[in-house]
Structure 1
């Protein structure tokens, strides 16, 4: 091999080496992992439906980020369920729309915004709009009336808003939170509007931390009225909530995991929320 051939081979080697280094630095899968805010779950679950229940629901509608179990008798959701992540919260792409609209995907027709007109009750979100800033479509869907429930202004703008904000704080701290929220219809406070939308006396929120390496859950049951009590006064286990609500959550999960999540009110999560 003469000197010219050696130089050519050396140049080819240098070009291949530079190409390999460039590929390793900028290859798509690594770049995606660096920028996507990858979600690390502490256990595998098949679908978000593993966490909710189909009990007493006349219809379950799956939207981009929210699953809604609608109840025709009460003209509102029994529960809404969705995943909230740090990635969602750190990547806002839209602003609150305030465009309340009838949910045409409800077979029996949902309540309307007119049902709330001059009722003295807020059109209270179950899945809050502030959790949906990561998607224009998710934001619009959060204003479907199937995601709305009659809430006292002092409740909606006070303790409930505070809990929603602390839930986002928890997602930013941990990474991935499954949220289930709904009304409790025992001893309702009457109804409003032409569609006779039931006024719940209480609301609940379940927070399940599925972020690795942590795993835990906490639930809250709060009366539909203005209160100055701190959030920890309303914290209970999911087992206790099930006895109050008559609903059985997470029945699709393995029994030992369901028991682990439902039997105690996780103090680590509660402390993160109330601090």
Structure 2
């Protein structure tokens, strides 16, 4: 059993580490305020036979999605949820998956592509976010909102808890905006190039070549690409009259209670994940995520450089704190963990020291149940007008058995909670 957990932990570490290794190696350009999408001049001489069409944007009652013709996946799905929209009597029992009639069939995924593929039909905008309207819930089953996800250990477990985490933000913030989508991230054949930096070498060091490997499902030529990772960018805006101070922002001095907008970006590998892994280990900087996703997120809120810099500073701090917890959680040697999960802005020696200290602190506090450890300190620099989501609630996921009426008492230490059967 111990070897099983070690192998499981190594897989999760490699998946998450591959994500960070790639993100951290991308060269950062100077941030510039970009313009909106270009409107083509229909009289341009090159457009005699029309402009090429590579994706389509579809609007439903509860969400908007950009659908990529090449991968047959949503490129991004944008939703706005509130306490009211995520509460109600709508049920998914009678909902059925369907191809969007606005997408030309030869560019669309098909229901048959998923049958026997080994992957779930994973929602980007969860059905449970729209319980106030049966129509809105039913529309989340459109294939423009669906992407192939690993089922056990991910879609039905860790990712489901993450979705619940986001939904619970509506109890502390009047409005929550969520952008979700797939990623295809390459891995490097060797961790370091010849300059020893692990980044910036352009793949020209010894063995430093980037390679993308991922599955496809369906039948050619209309294959559906299976993402290697998924992302969410979450904005909790309490300024619209919500009820601050309630879960998950349990403290009256919470930034949300004071009216600050909270933002967080997360990337997770499309593979089984240990339920004990801290959510903060999957925090990523906005700047890096936008480059690999090829998308600017919430530009009217996050276009100001000082805001982005403050959020990315906090992201680096929260991620390092999350990575430090992976040693006791996954029972890996530090050498294994650091090989796949280099912490942002630190060398291996610095991270190992930090990790040992954190692990000892956790052990000490757990032996004194009458004196619980204080919540981690906020990490967003002051004065930017925004805070990181983890500053609000330390990015604590719901317990693994959150979907049960009274909970099973398993707490967060189990191997995973089975929320639903395979889609």
- TM-score with structure 2 length normalisation? 0.49
The aligned residue for residue 180 of structure 1 is 179
Take 2:37 and 2:263, find their aligned partners in 1: how far apart are those partners? 20
Q: What residue number does 2:74 align with?
A: 77
Report what 1:27 is aligned to.
none
Report Cα offsets for 1:58-87 as digits up to 9, x if no partner: 111111111000000000101100101112
Determine which structure has the larger strand proportion and give its number: 1
Q: 1:146 aligns with which of 129, 140, 144?
A: 144
In 2, Cα distance between equivalents of 1:235 and 1:57: 30
Instruction: State the Cα distance separating 1:104 from its structure 2 match.
Output: 0.8
Cα separation, partners in 2 of 1:150 and 1:181, compared to 1, 3 Å = same
How far off its partner does 1:273 sit?
A: 4.3
Tell me whether 1:157 sits opposite 2:156 in the alignment. Answer: yes
Matches within 5 A, 1:3-14: none
Whose Rg is larger? 1
Instruction: Indicate the residue corresponding to 1:94 in structure 2.
Output: 90
Listed as ranges, the gaps of 5+ residues in structure 1 are 1-52
Name whichever of 232-241 and 154-163 sits farther off.
Answer: 232-241
Shift of 1:202: 0.2
Quote how far apart the aligned CAs of 1:176 are.
1.0
Q: Which stretches of structure 1, 4 residues or longer, exceed 3 Å deviation after superposition?
A: 53-57, 252-255, 257-265, 272-275
Distance 1:269 1:107 in 2: 43
Whether 1:196 aligns to 2:230 is no
Partner of residue 129 from structure 1, selected from 120, 127, 130 = 127
Provide the C-alpha distance between the structure 2 equivalents of 1:105 and 1:257, rounded to a whole number of angstroms.
Answer: 37
- Supply the distance in 1 between the matched residues of 2:286 and 2:180 (Cα, whole angstroms): 12
Please say if residues 217 and 269 of structure 1, whose CA atoms lie closer than 8 Å, have aligned partners that are also in contact: no
Give the corresponding residue for 1:41. Answer: none
Contact map agreement 2:172 2:238 (CA 8 A) in 1:
no
Residue 329 of structure 2 is matched in structure 1 by none
Give the distance between the partners of 1:57 and 1:93, measured in 2 at CA: 38
Structure with higher helix content: 1
Query: Cα–Cα, structure 1 residues 103 and 188, in superposed 2: closer, same or farther, change >3 Å?
Result: farther
Cα deviation 1:175-214 (Å, max 9, x = unaligned)? 2110000000233522101231100000001100121212
- Residue 255 of structure 1: CA displacement? 3.3
State the SS of the aligned residue for 2:103: coil
In structure 2, runs of 5+ residues without a counterpart are 1-35, 39-52, 186-211, 240-258, 316-387, 399-423
- Could you report, residue by residue, the CA deviation over 1:210-258 in whole angstroms, capped at 9, with x for unpaired residues? 2121202001100000111221111123223213323222234473288
Contact 1:239 1:262 in 2 (8 A): no
User: Bigger CA drift: 56-65 or 190-199?
Assistant: 56-65
Contact 2:279 2:395 in 1 (8 A): no
- Aligned 8 A contact 1:57 1:69 in 2: no
Please say if residues 280 and 395 of structure 2, whose CA atoms lie closer than 8 Å, have aligned partners that are also in contact: no
Q: CA deviation at 1:57?
A: 6.4
Supply the distance in 2 between the matched residues of 1:270 and 1:197 (Cα, whole angstroms): 37
Question: Is contact 2:278–2:396 with CA below 8 Å preserved after alignment?
Answer: no
Q: 1:198 to 1:129 in 2, by over 3 A?
A: same
Distance in 1 (CA, whole Å) between partners of 2:37 and 2:57 is: 8
